Every structure is written in structure tokens, then in C-alpha cells.
């Protein structure tokens, strides 16, 4: 037995069919004209993008270097429409939540999308009378937009990428020349995987910003001792030991840290 | 000139000479294509003229019959004409429900046999296709020992970024990188740490956190392919460029999403040369260097836990 | 009747002959007519073009893809070089490759736009639920098409995006490891992986997408598209007053010669 809602739906659709039969326009040429214009726009955009790709560098290179499965310097990124997923994976940075980002959330989203017509059973189609739908749509669009943007601009604290920032540090921190070797070492040694410096780096494990470390005037000897064994100097520090660098390298790092008096 | 329709006489096409002219035109085109362009052009003209006359002749009776009643090409006027207005099950071609006592009543046997034979066909076709495509999942792969050159290339206590062909017969696509450190001797036997650079989160290429000394690069050619060796000083351990996973010098995860420590290669010493074999997974490592205690597991894909409650998500692994 | 007019009509009828021939033997012309001249709501407009625009983008992908397949070599030893060859040597190769590459992006953007318009119009409601479901199934297929095609140029971005993508599948509970192994054709990425992806990218997924698009369009034609919900003349709207006289005050008056269908 059909419920009242089903009956009403059927009546409304019957009315729709009669309205269309009486007052509708033939698909060809009325609607098809619009479709054709739109398709022309689409094709022009595609060809235009191909031209821009070929003749300018706005859309990136047409081919990266040949695949090297043994690389130790490449920074992998997906195509732009997977940036949202890429960034989702970076958000779930606790090992036991990995599965949420990789399969959990995408699967839930897919099931939700499939279920929409079976959740929203009302006949109402006017937007202003579907507040939940509006809110959901805005939230989804917003979060996809933000995730895609964050994914597109995500930068890794990697030596190769950070070395390019050293000249900027020299300028804004007014580093003396003898701090330069230490700055390069600092950029390439993974310090910025946890710390931040001049707006780059990936605050992990609660590591502090080191842009103004030198203004605390702790001294070269302290810095070297700390780098050798962080938890001996600061009890409970999660920072790993950098003793493997050897004294000469540690001294370079210490000079750089003490010279970093904060941006001028 | 033409027999009238509907008088019971067979409808025969009238004799006509036009096709012969048409054929001559075609021959003329073909010969002209080989011999000379003007001849071909004449052929085209002959073909078009005779073709037109022929079509006119053949369609003559038809045209006379229908003039005035048939719109030339459809326009909005004929919108609903020709529409399949009859539901499919009531259309001409559809099979009506058989009435009792009909000559061909429903035969349960034939229905069953048809469906059964159909599934036999589907099975005969599908099983080999599916088997063919999923077989590689269940096949063991043999890994040769890969020769990485003399042990003397690995200075004690120094990490060396070592790049080699994992499967020489596959070529460059099997190139892999390992971070190898000579740990000196343990019970008079040489000890090495051989870390895979595949991230334990989703498999990106992990990089050393510290300088690599490209100037001291060594290239060896061994019987299993080219090997490059670059000394490095990963004082800050290893970092992943994808989602920021961090590892210490023993390969333990220290930060970010990786679910366990870096995988390792089994190693062998053969006549003073270092060789690597299969990979295995590691949950974590206690201690460091030669005396480290490694918590070993069967090789497991990136992102899959080998310990803790999450391991129950991955009870079975395909062979590797 | 003047002779000239007679001539013209004879010629028109001659042109009509092949169509009638086809119609008598297949009924295809009638089907096409039904498709073309079926009525759609008078107030449907630019919003409703997004679906066919998506279809156009897909057809561009099919066309350019077929051409690319004539030059591309799915083998790790020559894939990269064959793409370079397409880019640099083949006449207009850069254009076809560029169209395929960016057509993919446009296709996916258009799917999202089309989906957004269907959602905002509430066009997924009775009786069009099934068409929404078919559409939602098309979305991941299109994304997978993008993913499987990304490996083919076999450059650094291609290889590593594929590594991560396959391993994402690997983290699925229980069957994940086997799925990843299936995609790789074994425990490691090899030449077989590349040809596997090639086959998936150009045969399996496009076939599935084509089939679903066919079903999607069948449902669109059968059920009709919904009017914009804000339109005062929306087809099927609830009315207090009796239905208007046919053809009064409409955007497009009803065409002549409409007869009621026998159903
Ligand atoms: C390959 C991708 C797709 C193609 C080629 C396609 C094509 C079309 C076309 C040509 C129409 C009719 C015109 C229009 O309303 O724009 C349509 C309608 C529709 N599409 Fe799609 N579509 C695709 C994906 C999707 C997706 C992802 C969804 C939803 C999740 C969807 C849901 C619908 C619905 C519900 C309708 C009926 C609209 C109405 O009644 O107003 N489609 N589609
Ligand atoms: S792949 Fe290394 S952190 Fe994600």
C-alpha cells in the first residue's frame, strides 16, 4: 500500500508531465541551442588551456623528469583534483588515524552522496526552504575549497626547498657572513621538520620557533651541549640528538642560532 | 509506365540504362586516378549525372505517391509523431504473456536450460579472464641477492645512500634506494643497518635530514647492475616529503603519520662483499647500531599497522 | 501547379527517401525525433546545460585519447620517450595531448558543477533518485580515470602519485593489501603495472562510464528535467487556482499540432 507521501509524489509528477506536455518547449532547437553554446565554450576552454600550457609556463611544465623510483630528492604531489585528499592525509598525522584519511572519510562521503535522495524525502525544492541542504552544500564546498587550497600551497621542510630561503633569512635577520655555513646546515638537516624559522617549517612535537633564538643569549657552549643531548639540558625534551654531526658542524649551527636575533 | 501498387502484381523495378552509365563513370574515375586528372574529372561528372538520373528513376513511383502528405524534414510541428508512445511490453515486437493452451506454452525446462547454459558461457569466459588478471596477486616473487660491492666502500658509522636495481631483469623501474650504515662487528660478524627509503605511511621516498656528500659519490658495476653510493650525514634522521613523516637514525618513527618504523632489507656478506635480499617490516627498534633489537614482521604494505589493535584490519597479506 | 515547384518537392521527397528507408527498417528516425522534439519545461535554461557540457568534455577525452593511443607506448622503457615524441615531433601532438590533459580537469570540474546544480535544484528527488545514484557512481569513475591516466607519461610526478595512490588502496581494511597488489600486478610496481593501468584507463573505465552515461541519459529523457525551483511557472508546481488555459502567458507557446499520446 502506498503511503500518503508516495501518493502525493505521484500526483505531483503527473502534474509535472501534464504541465510539460502543455506548456513545455521542444528540446530541439530551444534547449539544444543553449547546450550547444555551452559545449562550444567548453571546447574553447579546453583548447585554450592546451595552448596556454604549450606556449607559457603558467600551467607548469609539460613533462617532469623521467620517473626515478630510486630518487632521494623528489617531492611527490598529485593532480590538483586530488589535493583535497592529499591534504586530508596531512591532517591525519597520527598513525592510528591514517585509515580515516585514506579510506574512511572518502568512503563516508561517497555513501552520504549516494544516500542523499533517500534521506531528503520532502518534495520541497525551493532553496530557501531547505536550510539544512544549504548549510550542508556551503560546508562541503567550503571545506573542499580550503583543502584544495591548502594542498596546493603545502610545502615540505626539505633541504632542497629550504636552501632557497637562506638568502631571505640573511636579509631579514641580518645574519653575519660567519653564520652562513650554519644557516645552510640548519636548512638541510631536518631541524625545520619540527621547528619553524621565518615562517617556514613544520611545528611538530611542540618544537618552538627559532627565529629569535639568539636574543635569549644562551651562548655557543649551551647550544652545542643542547644539540648533542637535548634531554640532558632540558629534561624531558623530545628533540633527537644531533651529536652525530661532530663538533665542527655543531659549532657552525650554534653560531647561526646565536646570530638569529629575530627579524629586523 | 509502372505497375500500380496494391493490384496483387509483383512489384518489379523498371528496366533502366542509367546504372550502366553510372558504372562507366566509376570506371572512368578509377582509370583517371591512375592515368590523368582530367579523365578522372570527366568520370566524376558522368557518375554524378547518371547517378542522379538513376535515383530519380528509381524513386519516381514513390515520389508520385506521397507528394504533399509527407513533410520534408521534421520540424516542431511533428513533435510527437514517431514517438514510441506504446509501452515496450505492448509494442509489436514484444512477446505477449502466453495464454493457456497455446502452441508454445512456457517451458520451465527450456527457461532453466537457457539460463543455465548462459551461466556456463559466462563462467567459461569469466573464470580465465579474472584468474588471469588476479593471479599475480597470489604468486610468490623470487628475489635474487643483490650485490652492492665490497664492504670497504662502507665506512664504519657512516650512512651511505645506496641505489641499486632490486630486480635486474626488470631494469630501471626496479631501482631502489637504501640507507646503509656499517655498524662494525657484533660477535666477530660484520653488522649493517639497511633501511628501505619507502615511507611507512604511503610509500613516498624518504630523504636524509642532513647533508649528502655528492663529491664523494662512488659508482660500482656489479653482476646485478649499477650501484651508486653517496655518503650522507642524516644527523636529524630521515624525513618524508609527502605528509611530513619523521624517522630517527634507526628508522623509528618520531613524528607524523607513518604507522611504524622504516622497512629493512636482509643483508648477507659474500666474500667480503655486501649483498641485500628480501625486505621485512619493523614495528620499532630498541637501542641503536649493532646491538639494536629489531621487532621484525613479514613485509607489509605502507600504511598498514603490524602491531597494536589496528593490525586486525590486515589479517592476511598477499605473498611478496 | 507550376513546374518549378513540382521539381522542388520531388527533390525534397528524394532526399527524404533514405530516411524513410532507415525508419521502415529500424525505427531509429522515430527514436531520434522523439529525443529531439520531446518537450522540456519552458523555463529550463543555462543551468541545464552543465550536464551536456560534461558529456562534451567526455567526448573530447574519448576523441583525443584514441589519437594519443596511436603514438603512446605503455612500457617503462619507452613510455616517457613516446610522450616526449608526441609533444615535440608529432604534428599538433602537443595540442592533442594538451587537450587530453586539460580536458580531464575540465571534465571533473564540470561534473562537480553539474552535481551542484542538481543538488541546489533539488532535482534528485522523486522520481529522479536513481539518476542521482547513477551520477554519484560516475563521479568516482571519473576520478579513477584521472588517477589511472596520471601514471601513463611515466615522469616523476606520475610515478610517485601512483605509488601513493596504490598504497592508499592498500590501507583499506582486510582486502586493501590484495587490492593494492592487484593494481600493481604483484608486490612491486613493474612494467606490468603500467600496461595494467593503460588498459584500465582506456578500456575498462571508459566502457563503464559510457554505459552509465547511457543509462543516465535514458533516465533524463524518460523522466524529463526539473524546472528551476524558483520559477513562477515551474512545471508541476502546486497551484491554488485552476490550471491555466493552454498556451496562455508562456515563455514559448505550445507548438502546433500536438496531439495527446495514447497512454
Ligand atoms: C560523466 C558525468 C555526467 C554526465 C555526462 C552527465 C550528463 C547529464 C545530462 C546531459 C543531463 C541532462 C541535462 C542537465 O540537467 O544538465 C543530466 C541530468 C542529471 N544528472 Fe547528470 N551527468 C553526469 C554526472 C552526474 C553526477 C555526478 C550526478 C549527481 C551526483 C548527476 C545527476 C543528475 C541528475 C539527478 C539529473 C536530472 C536533472 C534534472 O532532472 O533536472 N549527474 N546529466
Ligand atoms: S608518505 Fe611519508 S608521510 Fe605520507
Look at residue A79 and give its three-state secondary structure.
coil
Residue B293 pairs with which residues in a beta bridge? B286
Q: Mapping DSSP to helix (H, G, I), strand (E, B) and coil, where does residue B161 land?
A: strand
Test A70 with B246 for CB contact under 8 angstroms. Answer: no
CB nearest B313 (choices: C15, C173, C263): C173
- Average pLDDT taken over every residue of chain C: 89
The answer to the question of residue A138 being in a domain is yes
Residues of A in Cβ contact (< 8 Å) with B239: 156-158, 190, 193
Same domain? For A74 and A55 the reply is no
Strand order through the sheet with B238-239? B207-208, B238-239, B246-247, B253-255
Q: Which chains share 3+ C-beta pairs under 8 angstroms with A?
A: B, C
Average pLDDT, integer, range A192-202: 79
Sign of CA dihedral B299, B304, B306, B312: negative
Question: Are A118 and C129 in contact, with CB atoms under 8 Å apart?
Answer: yes
Per the model's pLDDT, the better-predicted residue between B89 and B19 turns out to be: B19
Q: H helices then E strands: how many in chain B?
A: 3, 13
Q: How far apart are CA C82 and CA A63, in angstroms?
A: 12
Q: Which of A102, A130, A154 is the last residue of a domain?
A: A154
How far is Cα A124 from Cα B55, in angstroms, rounded to an integer?
59
Window C:9-68, CB contacts with B under 8 Å: 9-10, 12-17, 23, 27, 29-31, 33-34, 36-39
Confidence of residue A164 (pLDDT cuts 50, 70, 90): confident
Check: CB of residue B251 under 8 Å from CB of residue B261.
yes
* Substitution candidate for ligand 2 out of B237, B242, B301 with most atoms within 8 A of CB: B242
Q: How many domains are contained in chain A?
A: 3
Say if ligand 2 is within 6 A of residue B201 CB: yes
How many Å apart are CA C40 and CA A181, to the nearest integer? 73
Ligand nearest to the CA of B203: 2
- What's the DSSP call for residue B96? P
Please give the share of chain B, as a percent, with pLDDT higher than 70: 82
d(CA B302, CA B191): 26
A5 compared with B80, residue with greater pLDDT: A5
B130 forms beta bridges with: none
Please list, in sequence order, all residues whose beta carbon lies within 8 angstroms of the beta carbon of residue B177, skipping any fewer than 6 positions away.
A70, A71, A72, B161, B162, B163, B197, B205
Residue C260 is predicted with a pLDDT of 45
Same domain, A99 and A189: no
pLDDT in tens, B153-205: 999 888 999 999 998 888 889 999 999 999 988 888 888 999 999 999 999 99
Residue A8 belongs to some domain of the structure:
no
Q: Are C105 and A80 in contact (CB under 8 A)?
A: yes
> For the domain B146-313, what is the CATH code?
2.102.10.10
Lowest mean pLDDT among B82-96, C75-89, C113-127: B82-96
In chain C, which residue's Cα lies nearest the Cα of A68? C156
pLDDT at A182: 87
A80 with A126, same domain: the answer is: yes
- Contact (Cβ atoms closer than 8 angstroms) between residue C28 and residue C34: no
Assess B53–A contact: CB distance below 8 Å, yes or no. Answer: no
Residue where one domain finishes, among candidates A154, A184, A203: A154
- Asked if residue A116 is part of any domain, the answer here is yes
Whether residue A6 is contained in a domain is answered as no
Distance CA B228, CA C20 (A): 74
DSSP type of residue B314: -
DSSP run (H or E) holding B230: strand B225-232
The answer to whether the CB atoms of C17 and B242 lie below 8 A apart is no
The answer to whether residue C215 scores a pLDDT higher than 90 is yes
| Residue C262, pLDDT score | 44
**Entry pTM:** 0.80
CA atoms B303, B307, B309, B313: torsion sign? positive
Q: What is the pLDDT of residue C246?
A: 55
Angle at A79 between CA A75 and CA A81, to 5 degrees: 135
Give A123 Cα–ligand 1 centroid separation in angstroms: 19
Distance CA A248, CA C211 (A): 68
Chain A residues whose beta carbon lies within 8 Å of the beta carbon of residue C238: 12
The answer to whether residues B43 and B27 touch, using CB atoms and an 8 Å cutoff, is: yes
pLDDT of residue B16: 76
Q: Which of A28, A123, A130 sits opposite C36 (nearest CB)?
A: A28
* pLDDT 10s digits, B240-270: 888 888 898 899 998 889 999 999 999 999 8
Residues A150 and A164 in one domain: no
Yes or no: say if B157 and B181 are a contact pair by the CB < 8 Å rule. Answer: yes
pLDDT digits (tens, 9 = 90+) for B39-78: 888 888 998 888 888 888 777 666 655 444 444 444 444 4
Distance CA B133, CA C192 (A): 11
Percent of residues in chain B assigned helix, strand, coil, to nearest 5: 30, 25, 40
Q: Is the ipTM of this complex over 0.85?
A: yes
Structure-model confidence comparison of residues B320 and A135, the more confident one = A135
- Measured CA to CA, the distance from residue A181 to residue A183 in angstroms comes to 5
Domain boundaries, chain B: 15-66+105-141, 146-313
Number of the ligand 1 atom closest to the C-alpha atom of C226: 41
Of A154, A180, A209, the position where a domain reaches its end is A154
Q: Does any domain span residue A1?
A: no
Write out residues 21-60 of C within 8 Å (CB-CB) of A: 35-42, 44-46, 48-50, 52-53, 56-57, 60
Asked if A137 and C116 come within 8 Å (Cβ–Cβ), the reply is yes
Torsion A51-A54-A56-A60 (CA) sign: positive
Nearest to B234 by CA among B259, B261, B206: B206
**Structural domains in chain C, sorted by start:** 45-223 (1.20.810.10)
Q: Note down the domain range covering A84.
A: 70-154
Name all chains with 3 or more CB-CB pairs below 8 Å to chain C. A, B
Q: What CATH number is given to the structural domain containing A175? A: 1.10.760.10
Tell me, yes or no, whether A144 and A197 share the same domain: no
Per-residue model confidence (pLDDT) at position A204: 67
Report residue A14: phi and psi, to 5°. -60, -45
What pLDDT is recorded for position B236? 80
Read off the pLDDT of residues B8-17 as tens digits, 9 standing for 90 and up.
455 555 667 8
Q: Is the CB of B245 under 6 A from ligand 2?
A: yes
pLDDT higher than threshold 60 for residue A240? yes
Amino acid at each position: 500500500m502506498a503511503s500518503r507521501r508516495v501518493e502525493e509524489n505521484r500526483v505531483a509528477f503527473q502534474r509535472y508531465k501534464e504541465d510539460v506536455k502543455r506548456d513545455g518547449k521542444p528540446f530541439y532547437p530551444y534547449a539544444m541551442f543553449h547546450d550547444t553554446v555551452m559545449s562550444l565554450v567548453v571546447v574553447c576552454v579546453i583548447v585554450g588551456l592546451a595552448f596556454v600550457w604549450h606556449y607559457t609556463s603558467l600551467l607548469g611544465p609539460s613533462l617532469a623528469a623521467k620517473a626515478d623510483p630510486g630518487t632521494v630528492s623528489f617531492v611527490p604531489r598529485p593532480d590538483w583534483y586530488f589535493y583535497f585528499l592529499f591534504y586530508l592525509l596531512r591532517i591525519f598525522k597520527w598513525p592510528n588515524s591514517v585509515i580515516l584519511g585514506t579510506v574512511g572519510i572518502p568512503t563516508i562521503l561517497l555513501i552520504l552522496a549516494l544516500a542523499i535522495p533517500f534521506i531528503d524525502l520532502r518534495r520541497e525544492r525551493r532553496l530557501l526552504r531547505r536550510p539544512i541542504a544549504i548549510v550542508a552544500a556551503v560546508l562541503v564546498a567550503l571545506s573542499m575549497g580550503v583543502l584544495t587550497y591548502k594542498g596546493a600551497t603545502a610545502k615540505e621542510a626539505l633541504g632542497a626547498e629550504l636552501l632557497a630561503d637562506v638568502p631571505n633569512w640573511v636579509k631579514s635577520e641580518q645574519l653575519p657572513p660567519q653564520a652562513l655555513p650554519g644557516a645552510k646546515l640548519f636548512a638541510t638537516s631536518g631541524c625545520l621538520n619540527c621547528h619553524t624559522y621565518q615562517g617556514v617549517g613544520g611545528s611538530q612535537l611542540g618544537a618552538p620557533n627559532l627565529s629569535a633564538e639568539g636574543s635569549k643569549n644562551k651562548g655557543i657552549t649551551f647550544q652545542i651541549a643542547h644539540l648533542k643531548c637535548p634531554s640532558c639540558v632540558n629534561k624531558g625534551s623530545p628533540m633527537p640528538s644531533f651529536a652525530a654531526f661532530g663538533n665542527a658542524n655543531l659549532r657552525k649551527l650554534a653560531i647561526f642560532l646565536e646570530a638569529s636575533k629575530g627579524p629586523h | 509506365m509502372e505497375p500500380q501498387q496494391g493490384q496483387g502484381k509483383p512489384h518489379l523495378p523498371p528496366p533502366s540504362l542509367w546504372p550502366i552509365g553510372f558504372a562507366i563513370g566509376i570506371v572512368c574515375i578509377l582509370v583517371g586516378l591512375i592515368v590523368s586528372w582530367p579523365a578522372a574529372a570527366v568520370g566524376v561528372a558522368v557518375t554524378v549525372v547518371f547517378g542522379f538520373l538513376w535515383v530519380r528513376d528509381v524513386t519516381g513511383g514513390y515520389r508520385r505517391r506521397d507528394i504533399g502528405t509527407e513533410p520534408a524534414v521534421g520540424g516542431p510541428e511533428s513533435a510527437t509523431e514517431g514517438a514510441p508512445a506504446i509501452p515496450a511490453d505492448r509494442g509489436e515486437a514484444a512477446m505477449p504473456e502466453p495464454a493457456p493452451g497455446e502452441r508454445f506454452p512456457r517451458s520451465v525446462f527450456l527457461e532453466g536450460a537457457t539460463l543455465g547454459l548462459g551461466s556456463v558461457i559466462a563462467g567459461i569466459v569469466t573464470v580465465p579472464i579474472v584468474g588471469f588478471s588476479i593471479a599475480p596477486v597470489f604468486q610468490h616473487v623470487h628475489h635474487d641477492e643483490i650485490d652492492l660491492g665490497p664492504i670497504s666502500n662502507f665506512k664504519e658509522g657512516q650512512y651511505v645512500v645506496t641505489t641499486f636495481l632490486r630486480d635486474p631483469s626488470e631494469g630501471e623501474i626496479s631501482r631502489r634506494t637504501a640507507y646503509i650504515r656499517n655498524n662494525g662487528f657484533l660477535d666477530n660478524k660484520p653488522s649493517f643497518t639497511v633501511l628501505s627509503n619507502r615511507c611507512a605511511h604511503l610509500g613516498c621516498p624518504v630523504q636524509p635530514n642532513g647533508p649528502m656528500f655528492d663529491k664523494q659519490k662512488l659508482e660500482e658495476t656489479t653482476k646485478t647492475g649499477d650501484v651508486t653510493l653517496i655518503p650522507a650525514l642524516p644527523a636529524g634522521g630521515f624525513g618524508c616529503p609527502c605528509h611530513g613523516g619523521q624517522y630517527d637514525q634507526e628508522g623509528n618513527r618520531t613524528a607524523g603519520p607513518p604507522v611504524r618504523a622504516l622497512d629493512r632489507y636482509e643483508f648477507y656478506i659474500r666474500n667480503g662483499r655486501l649483498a641485500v635480499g628480501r625486505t621485512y617490516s619493523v614495528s620499532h627498534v630498541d637501542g641503536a647500531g649493532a646491538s639494536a633489537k629489531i621487532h621484525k614482521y613479514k613485509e607489509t604494505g605502507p600504511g598498514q599497522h603490524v602491531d597494536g589493535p589496528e593490525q586486525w584490519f590486515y589479517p592476511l597479506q598477499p605473498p611478496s | 501547379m507550376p513546374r518549378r515547384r513540382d521539381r522542388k518537392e520531388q527533390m525534397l521527397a528524394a532526399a527524404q527517401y533514405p530516411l524513410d528507408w532507415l525508419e521502415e527498417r529500424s525505427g531509429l528516425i522515430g527514436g531520434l525525433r522523439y529525443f529531439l522534439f520531446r518537450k522540456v519545461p519552458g523555463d529550463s535554461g543555462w543551468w541545464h546545460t552543465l550536464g551536456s557540457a560534461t558529456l562534451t568534455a567526455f567526448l573530447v577525452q574519448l576523441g583525443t585519447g584514441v589519437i594519443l593511443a596511436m603514438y603512446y607506448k605503455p612500457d617503462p622503457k619507452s613510455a616517457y620517450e613516446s610522450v616526449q615524441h608526441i609533444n615535440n615531433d608529432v604534428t599538433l601532438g602537443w595540442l592533442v595531448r594538451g587537450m587530453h590533459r586539460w580536458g580531464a580537469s575540465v571534465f571533473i570540474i564540470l561534473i562537480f558543477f553539474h552535481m551542484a546544480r542538481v543538488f541546489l535544484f533539488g532535482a534528485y528527488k522523486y522520481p529522479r533518485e536513481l539518476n542521482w545514484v547513477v551520477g554519484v557512481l560516475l563521479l568516482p569513475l571519473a576520478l579513477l580515470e584521472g588517477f589511472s591516466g596520471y601514471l601513463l607519461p611515466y615522469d616523476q610526478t606520475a610515478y610517485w602519485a601512483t605509488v601513493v595512490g596504490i598504497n592508499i588502496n592498500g590501507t583499506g581494511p582486510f582486502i586493501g593489501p590484495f587490492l593494492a597488489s592487484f593494481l600493481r600486478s604483484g608486490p612491486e610496481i613493474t612494467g606490468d603495472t603500467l600496461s595494467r593501468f593503460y588498459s584500465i584507463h582506456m578500456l575498462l573505465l571508459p566502457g563503464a562510464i559510457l554505459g552509465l552515461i547511457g543509462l543516465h541519459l535514458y533516465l533524463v529523457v524518460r523522466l524529463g528535467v526539473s524546472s528551476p525551483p524558483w520559477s513562477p511557472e515551474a512545471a508541476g508546481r502546486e497551484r491554488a487556482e485552476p490550471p491555466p488555459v493552454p498556451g496562455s502567458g508562456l515563455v514559448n507557446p505550445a507548438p502546433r499540432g500536438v496531439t495527446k499520446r495514447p497512454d
